[in-house]
Amino acid sequence: MIQHLVDQTHAGLFAQMGLGKTVTTLEAYRQLRERGDFKGVLIIAPLRVCSVTWPDQVMRWQMPFKVANLRTDEGKQAWLDGTADIYLINFELVSGRGSKKGFLDEYVGADMPVDTLLVDELSCLKANSKRTKAVIKARKHFKRVHGLTGTPSPNGLLDLFYQLKVIDGGARLGKFITHFKNKWFDSDWNGWNWTPKPSASAEINSAIADICLVRRSQQHLDIPDCNIIDVDVTLPVKVMKQYKALEKHLVIQIAEQTVDAQSAATLVNKLQQFTAGTVYDEDGECVGLHTAKHKHLHSILSKSKGKPVLVLTRYKSEMQALLEAFPQAEQFDEKRMSDWRAGKIPCWIANPASLSHGIDGIQDSCSTIVWMSLTYSLEQYEQTNARILRTGQKKTATIHRIMAVDTIDWTVASALENKADGQSTLMASIGMLQRANSSEHQSGQQDKPRDQRTSDPLDFLSRRGQ
């Protein structure tokens, strides 16, 4: 992984959770600077990863880099003065709002204290958003562009287009999304849904294999097994009738409060709130419905015998109900990580969005996760589970998914499974292609004199790119 980033000026590192993408990248840049080929790097990453992960990793591995956070006035001054080596900014500040310019618009240009752009969690730029456009526009000012992610295609092959355009400017998958779709996908009659052509996966994988290095956790890490236990919950008859009515009519009356779902997306969200036990009405007020899932959580906590359990919820009302029902539970607070690692918190309740990226140490005391409400985001789901499925885990991990029978819960679970299958196929096929090319390259070198052979096992990637 280090050699890939050193050799490739434009590269993607598709390495799954726990393989050390951060320290790998730091070491690659240390080597580049040592040979005089590194001026500095601008790192775009999720907020917590900027604030905690990168500074901590620099200190932990004693890397010779000065870090500046561009969210602060001191960080911006360091950028202007060129007094740091690593400049960190979160995705939210990349592009501006309204007439206000974003950081890339205002500060990126010919005269910069860096020559390298790194996007950590590259999959955050999988959509044609304002921030994605800002990064693509700014990339031309950097000598080197790298992207890191463990989930390159959480929703399928279409997710790859903008990520690759950030890296190579459209050289491999095309300059425009319409060309990409027309070449490798078939659309339905109204153009809303796109299905990969039979040859799409192989051709796309082949097109990007030279600059996108794949490393999968199970090939390199000795992590204990994981058991996934799906728990069936039957909702009360009255609640189930209300659920079916909302599903059919998009609006229902509960006592004096109206629950309204005006779109398909809103309906999915409302139905998930129903299965969670509380739903928000049209005024944003919380309506309590049931606690059917609570008894199953109580059973799991009882069997844990005081060992820490991480409980995941999607809604504030759902979390509040659990905190009231389970006195031993506490709301997730990163500042109390030392107590968690020491096993002093028996139950931590968190929204997966708050810890899916940049949090390490959950696995030190915990091997059990309970999903009270599943997320539709495969990236968030896998990243959150990876908080316990990572280096340092010494026990067999258990992931409980508490789901209501005949409801949206099982639909979400099925959608996650289908997305995971697609991503696993992508990761595996690119990896196989790279290994095949490597074998072919090494075989071809057998007839060369020793002084003509390369010592770089990934040289075939560089040559293919050229």
CA-closest candidate to residue 1, choices 32, 17, 23: 23
CA distance 259 to 253: 6
The sign of the torsion formed by the CA atoms of 458, 1, 113, 167 equals positive
Residues 6+ apart with CB under 8 A from 243: 235, 271, 274, 275, 407
pLDDT band at 283 (very low <50, low <70, confident <90, very high): confident
Mean pLDDT of the chain: 87
Q: What is the pLDDT of residue 324?
A: 96
Helix, strand, or coil here: 382? helix
Greatest Cα pair distance, the chain, in angstroms, is: 85
- State pTM to two decimals: 0.75
Contact 76, 70 (CB under 8 A): yes
Q: What is the pLDDT of residue 461?
A: 31
Q: Which CATH superfamily is domain 2-220 in?
A: Tandem AAA-ATPase domain (3.40.50.10810)
pLDDT band at 267 (very low <50, low <70, confident <90, very high): confident
Q: What is the mean pLDDT of residues 77-82?
A: 96
CA-closest candidate to residue 149, choices 415, 465, 426, 364: 426
pLDDT at 93 over 60: yes
CA distance 147 to 164: 9
pLDDT band at 455 (very low <50, low <70, confident <90, very high): very low
> Which residues pair with residue 258 across a beta bridge?
253
Q: What is the mean pLDDT of residues 150-164?
A: 91
DSSP states along 445-461: HTTS-GGGS-S-TTHHH
CA-closest candidate to residue 205, choices 238, 239, 164: 164
Six token digits for residue 19? 């393989």
Q: Which one is predicted more confidently, 17 or 89?
A: 89
Q: What is the pLDDT of residue 425?
A: 59
Which residues in the chain are classed under CATH 3.40.50.300? 226-408
- Summarize pLDDT for 360-391 with one digit per residue, the tens: 889 999 999 999 999 988 888 988 998 898 87
Q: What is the pLDDT of residue 427?
A: 63
CB atoms within 10 A of CB 147: 27
Strands in 347-350's sheet, in edge-to-edge order, are 226-233, 397-404, 368-371, 309-312, 347-350, 329-331
Location of structure tokens 């006035």: 73
Q: What is the mean pLDDT of residues 385-409?
A: 91
Q: What is the mean pLDDT of residues 176-205?
A: 91
Six token digits for residue 233? 């919950």
By mean pLDDT, which of 194-198, 237-241, 304-308, 428-432 is the weakest? 428-432
Percent of the chain past pLDDT 90, that is, above it, reads 63
Q: What is the pLDDT of residue 448?
A: 42
Which residues in the chain are classed under CATH 3.40.50.10810? 2-220
Q: Which one is predicted more confidently, 263 or 100?
A: 100
pLDDT at 441 over 80: no
Helix, strand, or coil here: 144? strand
pLDDT at 330 over 70: yes
CA-closest candidate to residue 321, choices 296, 289, 281: 289
pLDDT band at 197 (very low <50, low <70, confident <90, very high): very high
CA distance 130 to 460: 36
CB atoms within 10 A of CB 137: 13
Query: Residue 312: what are its φ and ψ, rounded to 5°?
Result: -115, 130
Q: What is the mean pLDDT of residues 404-421?
A: 86
Instruction: Write b or e for each residue in 439-465: b if 16 or more Cβ atoms lie within 10 A of its Cβ, otherwise e.
Output: eebeeeeeeeeeeeeeeeebbbbbeeb
Q: Which one is predicted more confidently, 393 or 33?
A: 33
pLDDT band at 249 (very low <50, low <70, confident <90, very high): confident
CA distance 121 to 379: 10
pLDDT band at 192 (very low <50, low <70, confident <90, very high): confident
Fold annotation for 226-408: Rossmann fold (3.40.50)
CA-closest candidate to residue 146, choices 4, 10, 38, 1: 10
Strands (DSSP E) along 150-246, which ranges? 185-187, 194-196, 212-215, 226-233
Query: Residue 178: what are its φ and ψ, rounded to 5°?
Result: -65, -40
Q: What is the pLDDT of residue 287?
A: 87
